[in-house]
Amino acid sequence: MKNRSVVSSAALAATLIAFFSYSSVQAQIRSTGIGLRGTYWNMNNGPAHVIVTDYDGYSSVDVGNGGGWIYFFSRVDDRTFFEFSLGAVGNVQSELHHGFENNVDATAVTPVLLGLRHDLFSPYSQSALQPYLAYGAGPYWLHDVKVRDGLGEDEVIVRSKLKPGAYAGGGMNFMMASWFGLNFDVKYHFVDFNVNHDYSGFEYGLGFSFMWGRYRPGQRR
């Protein structure tokens, strides 16, 4: 009975994989889409953690380098998409000395990027997995906010800079249907076109996308 159960489970998994692969090919090939992606950006080689400390009248919170993206994409040809991406990634450190002082340091990056995505497989292939390469460029808004509140004196310091930059990387879409897919990607951001800039670094994203519209077979090149 146990062996029969294992065989049945394996057969079911194989059937589901075949179904998703078949449906992604046989359904309409979509032309336009929108996606959401959560991300960790290793700027400043910062920590990937959330730390909360509370003892002897002292509290602190340290949240490292998380954020998210919304992106729009439109097909240029069989394997190429134009992408517009808007992101927000930040790092927040807060310290509270009870009865004395409250300090908050926040660092944030807001990129507005234009780029291209090249699928490695044809949309007419028999696979639901669609690996791709991506690259682009645009402005990176850099924000540094410091808040000091203690002993009757309040101070807020905001510094913002606009830097050009670029990114390059790749990822994978797993198309559950012609209109919906899961996404994983890895990019390297070159802020100020400098690999050694404080905000340059690898970014790791996980999310999903929705697609609509029809890419007609007559548009093949």
Q: Is the pLDDT of residue 176 over 80?
A: yes
Q: Can you tell me which residue has the tokens 């490695």?
A: 120
Q: Is the pLDDT of residue 106 over 70?
A: yes
Q: Is the pLDDT of residue 26 over 60?
A: no
The predicted model scores a pTM of 0.75
Question: What is the per-residue pLDDT for 216?
Answer: 73
Burial of 140 (0-12, 13-18, 19+ CB in 10 A): buried
Q: What is the mean pLDDT of residues 93-110?
A: 74
Percent of the chain with pLDDT over 70: 71
Question: What is the per-residue pLDDT for 25?
Answer: 44
CB 42 within 8 A of CB 53: no
4 against 81, higher pLDDT: 81
Question: What is the per-residue pLDDT for 220?
Answer: 45
178 against 64, higher pLDDT: 178
- Structural domains in the chain, CATH included, are 2-213 (2.40.160.20)
Q: Given pLDDT bands bounded at 50, 70 and 90, which one contains residue 217?
A: low
Question: What is the per-residue pLDDT for 123?
Answer: 81
